[in-house]
Amino acid sequence: MAKIFGTDGVRGVANSELTCELVIKLVREAAFVLKDKFKNKKIIILRDTRISSEMFEHAVAAGVCSSGMNALILGIMPTPAASFLVKKMQAAAAVVISASHNPFEFNGIKFFDGDGYKLNDETERQIEENVNEPKNSNLPVGGELGKVFYEDAAIESYTEHLAQKFTEDLCNLKVAVDCANGAASVCARSLFRKLGIEYELLFDSPDGTNINRNCGSTNLNALAQRVVDGGFDLGVAFDGDADRCLAVDEKGRILDGDHIMAACGLDLFKSGKLMKNSIVGTPMSNLGFVNFLEKSGIRFVETKIGDKHISKKILENGYNFGGEQSGHMIFNDVSSTGDGLLTAILFINTLIKNNFKASEVFEMFIKFPQFIKNITVKKEDDFFENSKIKEVINQSEKILGGSGRVFVRKSGTEPMVRIMVQSGEKDLFEEVRRLYEQPWN
């Protein structure tokens, strides 16, 4: 059976790997699967700012209507808005058209069920099976076909929902906001105005091709420079669909997801609101951060990479907070999915409540030296069966011993393999780093 779903939905180069024909089939089969569980004939559709997203918006609507369900098109909105609006609008599911942090030529399809959660592995497998071998031969005809509707006011409902999470009465912070020329561009101004925060928007002029280009959470250089030059107290950056948030302190230093989790998690812990005194993370989290948690009396619970796996671990084990170094955060008491805008609000809350400067968060722990080697691949098997690569990885693990870790994984969102190395022993770390500077072929 052809594998369709990756770490976060279905993704590929638009009109090449991800085609309108595939999207129609994929959405139709998803609709058949989900409408049996959620007794509603409506599916909402959101998209990001990519040039291909409008094209796929029509394909998604076609897939929905061909299943006999109605399509409600909401336009450009952040991915996490789907989790909130699918429940508010009592829809059977939400479909988001976005490739998140990827370059503009990529696009993707993400699904949320009627409860506001991303699909579990079992549901994705069922949809994949049905796409590969369709079982619904008697498609609706005539008056049984679905209809297309449009809604323009949903974005205001979402930003109002977020603004209510800002609990501090007084905010003297001056914040620079990088919208990545993505979905945050349509709502960040309204949101930060509601919060009463002094702010400046950057990269909020999408043109269809500039999403994530030298900006956003994958490239913080411009934001860091603006924070320092403009005398800002903090910079926050989102990715293309605004489900991630990273930050920059007043000195221009990057605050990744581990830093944000450290500050927000410690605040929850001290307030008695961190369930089971635990934070859920992934193997990508820095060991310096993990050690900081343990010394603070907080347990680090490791799960698979991907915010849906963090959400699953939280739900199944009674936790309420977790995240990834890349900026996905799950504040489960407030939202059932990663939400970059919500993360920014709650992080700012934490700074004000504890009278922290952003630089104090940066200095909460000392990061272990860490690097990530991204290697573009055509076939995953070619990489993992390469004897030279195996030798380098084995040699790395032997050098580090118990002082660090080597973590190898296939990216679920891009055609590459990622190798992450970190160690508390600087000399050993540098010895291993040199191994990865050599040619792979």
User: Where in the sequence numbering do the catalytic residues fall?
Assistant: 100
* 289 phi, psi to nearest 5 deg: -65, -45
Contacts of 186 (CB under 8 A, 6+ apart): 76, 77, 155
Rounded Cα–Cα distance for residues 72 and 79 (Å): 15
The pairing of beta strand 416-423 with beta strand 106-113: unpaired
Grouping H, G, I as helix, E, B as strand and the rest as coil, residue 108 is strand
Q: What is the CA radius of gyration of the chain?
A: 22
- What is the H or E stretch that residue 43 is in? strand 42-47
Instruction: Find out whether 49 and 208 touch, Cβ atoms under 8 Å.
Output: yes
CB 64 within 8 A of CB 45: yes
How many of the other CB atoms lie within 10 Å of CB of 220? 22
**Residue 278's beta-bridge partner residues?**
299
Contact 56, 8 (CB under 8 A): no
HSE on the CB side for 374, CA within 13 Å? 7
Distance CA 196, CA 76 (A): 24
